[in-house]
Amino acid sequence: MTPPSPRPSLRRRSRLLAASALVTAGVLVLGACGSDDGGDGNGNGDGGAAGVNTDAPLYDQLPENIREAGRITVGSDIAYAPIEYYDENNEVTGIDPAIADAMAEQLGVPMEFVNGTFDGLVLGMNSGRYDVIMSAMTDTRERQEGLSEDAEGGADFVNYFEAGSALLVASGNPEDVATLDDLCGLTVASQRGTSNEALVERQQESCDEPIEMLVNDTDDESITQLQSGRAQVVVTDFPVALYNATTARDGELFEVVGEQIDAAPYGIAVPKDNPELRDALQQALQAIIDDGTYQEVLAEWDAETGAIDSATVNAGQ
């Protein structure tokens, strides 16, 4: 069965600070890290209570309050396929939950995803509602320093993925598109008010043969134009392009071509006053990179081109 289309909030929330749509609240607990065999039922000994594994490699690196809670609460706007979204069974799935699940095995406590509106996530974290944020949030200097509207108070970011703009074309790439230069003379669709529209506008200035621009309110409109043949290329967020290339008619309709454009790191946001938790998350991410689990997760989502080489902190500019 083909997964549902991404929800209307696919405007590049991580780059333009646009508000995302409010969806039904939900919680996903990731990382059944231990068993109920052994221990005293209080998280001590082999396995421990309720998915806690006190013998996990990085359990002792976690802050005391996290160990006492037995979980890491993750704020997320669960509406951005394939990064994090609700599937046809209203279950939370995606690249972020899968990476979090692997990290939870290293940390010894489950990571519990809690839905919220994107623009309020950092405020919610810094007020104590969430321990961290994992929500396709681009790491920028403005967000680190609390200078952007959606990052009041600032945060540290453990970088775990890279995404920018991408070129989506019909399967077989009939126009032989590989770079922005190849858009000249073609009909190109993008979403209004996004950096993707700005990319096409800038490219237009260097074209001898003009681009026919189709500017739409949603990515879904652009992709419908591509499917009908009205557009020859869609310039959109890499995750949106990836999702449509891999799911539309079982991956037969579209393909992503060329390299990502203006790729920037996504980061797990952590309160600035909690370096202990930040460092534990960085170590957990590095551990799954080193043992190959991270690469396996991305391969399952056909997202290898967004992979990072090592876990960094505050790499965004």
pLDDT of residue 149: 84
Candidate from 122-126, 147-151, 173-177, 191-195 with smallest mean pLDDT: 147-151
* Residue 6: alpha-carbon gap to chain centroid: 13
pLDDT at 252: 96
**Can you give the pLDDT at residue 206?**
96
pLDDT value for 42: 34
Decide which of 268 and 13 is more confident: 268
Query: What local confidence, expressed as pLDDT, does residue 22 receive?
Result: 29
Q: Which domains does the chain have, with CATH numbers?
A: 8-163+264-313 (3.40.190.10), 164-263 (3.40.190.10)
Question: Among 24-38, 137-151, 261-275, where is mean pLDDT lowest?
Answer: 24-38
For residue 43, what pLDDT is reported? Answer: 35
Find out whether the peptide bond into 82 is cis, omega within 30 degrees of 0. yes
Predicted confidence at residue 51, as pLDDT, reads: 87
pLDDT at residue 50, as a whole number: 60
pLDDT of residue 148: 86
Q: How far apart, in whole angstroms, are the C-alpha atoms of residue 192 and residue 214?
A: 9
Phi, psi of 122 (to 5 degrees): -65, -40
Asked whether the CA dihedral 84, 85, 89, 92 is positive or negative, the reply is positive
Mean pLDDT of 175-189: 98
pLDDT of residue 13: 43
Q: Are strands 111-115 and 27-30 parallel, antiparallel or unpaired?
A: antiparallel
Residue range 193-247, pLDDT digits in tens: 999 999 999 999 999 999 999 999 999 999 999 999 999 999 999 999 999 999 9
Mean pLDDT, rounded, for 34-56: 54
pLDDT value at residue 292: 98
pLDDT at 45 (0 to 100): 36
Q: Across the chain, what does the average pLDDT equal? A: 87
pTM of the predicted protein model? 0.84
pLDDT of residue 151: 83
Residue 279 reports pLDDT greater than 60: yes
Bigger pLDDT: 204 or 151? 204
Antiparallel, parallel or unpaired: β 254-270 and 312-313: unpaired
Q: What is the mean pLDDT of residues 297-303?
A: 95
Looking at residue 191, its pLDDT comes to 97
Is 182 in contact with 291 (CB distance < 8 Å)?
A: no
Q: What is the mean pLDDT of residues 33-57?
A: 55
Under the banding of pLDDT at 50, 70 and 90, the label for residue 131 is very high
CA angle 97, 95, 173 (to 5 degrees): 165
pLDDT at residue 63 greater than cutoff 70: yes
pLDDT at 180 over 90: yes
Pick from 306, 285, 304, 305: nearest CA to 296: 304
